[in-house]
């Protein structure tokens, strides 16, 4: 068993306190298994969230990185959604409006399947290097060896031979337990250059604390940030934050930075007092939210209703396993064809495609992310279905 962390990994403060605990959760939630039996027996470990009163960082104090294998059959891509694709294209356009990257080198840390780096290259003319152990060449045919290249490995600054002019890191920082060491590694890659642009996108935990959104807490996410704690981490490691805001229905932190120091904090960074208050009320709030959704599902199941959840990724796995839901949920739906026909860790639910609902219509569909409500409603209508449609 891994030793419990007593100090904050972001600022090393000892002023940390537990705000949430789960006895056993799947050690990976973006992984899909080949059989129900394999999925049900997937390893589980405890989760213990702590809040740092000095910097606002939230972290899993008993996280064990050795249990997570991002080079395995991880399926994190959201690019099968039109809603998400429009968001990604707009982000690339925003970057293009701020930086002149034509002919310059971009390194994306945690590039996933490479879709965003490809979009950025197409819009800006940048030369791209994507680093991710889970990259699958067949998923991005014709890309490697042209404007963008990939290293199928965990990020290590010593393997980056061409210093970047621009650094991208989307939905990766939340998977890093030693966030301070990670920032040092980025600084080492940049070197003494002060003209390098930096772009980070990370889930926002303030909403999770405010809503008691337990479905957004799972093992791979060992580090949780708000606008303020995200910026404080960067400033602590010698970087100025130049632009900071929430996007994607206020779910994601968007932050631009540069490797210099001296600027005043942005107004959005002043959130510590609010975070301290939210951390105090979170245990009660999350208990209430869990109870509500457990009752919501069990009541409909007891009445003979067929309940489905839409979203066969981390949110869906957490929604099911946190509250011990099994047969009460009849179907798990996802538009990603690489998830369909495979099984969720913990519960063993088989992921199906939207078209399968025509043969077994659900009475209630619970959407794991409210930003997709319109898109999912349209998919249901195309299949001639009009179930009760709600979002977490």
pLDDT of residue 243: 97
pLDDT of residue 83: 82
Strand blocks (E) in 146-239: 148-151, 166-170, 197-203, 223-224
Q: What is the pTM of this model?
A: 0.94
Higher pLDDT, 141 or 383: 383
Torsion angle of alpha carbons 352, 356, 358, 360, nearest 10°?
A: -60
pLDDT of residue 261: 80
Q: Are 187 and 259 in contact (CB under 8 A)?
A: yes
Q: Are 310 and 365 in contact (CB under 8 A)?
A: yes
pLDDT tens digits for range 363-382: 999 999 999 999 999 999 99
Q: What average pLDDT does this structure show over 181-194?
A: 94
> From residue 132, how far is each of 114, 136, 225 by CA, in Å?
9, 9, 22
Q: Is the pLDDT of residue 85 over 90?
A: no
Residue 91: pLDDT band by 50, 70, 90 thresholds?
very high
pLDDT of residue 78: 59
> Cβ contacts of residue 97 below 8 Å, gap of 6+?
none
CA neighbor of 132 nearest in space, from 146, 120, 144, 122? 144
Q: What average pLDDT does this structure show over 341-355?
A: 95
pLDDT tens digits for range 238-254: 999 999 999 999 999 99
CATH architecture of 82-274: 3-Layer(aba) Sandwich (3.40)
> Cβ contacts of residue 202 below 8 Å, gap of 6+?
171, 173, 174, 225, 230, 252, 253, 255
- The tokens 């990994």 sit on which residue? 9
Q: Is the pLDDT of residue 77 over 60?
A: no
Q: What average pLDDT does this structure show over 178-203?
A: 96
Residue 84: pLDDT band by 50, 70, 90 thresholds?
confident
Q: Report the mean per-residue pLDDT for the chain.
A: 94
pLDDT of residue 76: 52
Q: How far apart are CA 49 and CA 62, in angstroms?
A: 8
Q: What average pLDDT does this structure show over 278-301?
A: 98
Q: How far apart are CA 141 and CA 123, in angstroms?
A: 18
**CATH for the 296-391 domain, from 3.40.50.2300, 1.10.150.120, 3.40.50.720, 1.10.600.10:** 3.40.50.720
Q: Is the pLDDT of residue 169 over 70?
A: yes
pLDDT of residue 73: 60
CATH 3.40.50.720 range(s) for the chain read: 296-391
CA neighbor of 259 nearest in space, from 370, 163, 150? 163
Q: In percent, how much of the chain has pLDDT > 70?
A: 96
Higher pLDDT, 113 or 142: 113
CATH 3.40.50.150 range(s) for the chain read: 82-274
């Amino acid at each position: 068993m891994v030793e419990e962390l007593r100090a904050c990994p972001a600022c090393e403060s000892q002023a940390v306190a537990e705000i949430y605990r789960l006895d056993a959760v799947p050690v990976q939630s973006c992984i899909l298994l080949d059989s129900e039996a394999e999925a049900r027996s997937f390893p589980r470990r405890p989760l213990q969230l702590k809040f740092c009163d000095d910097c606002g960082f939230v972290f899993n104090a008993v996280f064990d990185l050795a249990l997570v294998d991002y080079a395995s059959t991880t399926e994190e891509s959201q690019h099968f959604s039109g809603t998400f694709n429009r968001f990604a294209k707009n982000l690339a356009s925003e970057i293009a409006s701020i930086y002149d990257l034509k002919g310059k080198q971009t390194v994306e840390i945690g590039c996933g399947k490479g879709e965003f780096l490809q979009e950025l290259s197409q819009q800006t003319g940048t030369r791209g290097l994507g680093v991710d152990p889970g990259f699958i060449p067949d998923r991005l045919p014709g890309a490697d060896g042209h404007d963008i290249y990939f290293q199928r490995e965990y990020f290590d600054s010593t393997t980056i031979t061409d210093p970047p002019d621009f650094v991208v890191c989307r939905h990766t920082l939340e998977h890093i337990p030693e966030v301070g060491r990670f920032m040092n590694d980025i600084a080492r890659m940049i070197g003494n250059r002060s003209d390098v642009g930096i772009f980070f996108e990370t889930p926002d935990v303030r909403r999770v604390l405010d809503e008691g959104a337990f479905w957004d807490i799972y093992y791979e996410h060992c580090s949780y940030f708000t606008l303020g704690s995200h910026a404080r981490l960067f400033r602590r490691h010698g970087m100025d934050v130049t632009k900071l805001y929430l996007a994607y229905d206020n779910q994601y932190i968007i932050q631009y930075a540069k490797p210099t120091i001296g600027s005043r904090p942005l107004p959005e960074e002043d959130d510590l007092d609010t975070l301290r208050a939210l951390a105090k009320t979170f245990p009660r709030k999350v208990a209430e939210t869990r109870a509500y959704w457990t009752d919501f599902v069990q009541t409909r199941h007891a009445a003979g209703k067929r309940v489905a959840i839409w979203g066969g990724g981390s949110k869906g796995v957490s929604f099911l396993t946190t509250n011990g839901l099994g047969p009460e949920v009849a179907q798990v739906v996802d538009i990603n064809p690489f998830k369909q026909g495979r099984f969720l860790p913990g519960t063993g639910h088989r992921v199906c495609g939207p078209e399968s609902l025509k043969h077994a219509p659900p009475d209630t569909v619970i959407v794991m992310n409210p930003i997709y409500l319109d898109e999912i409603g349209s998919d249901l209508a195309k299949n001639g279905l009009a179930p009760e449609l709600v979002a977490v």
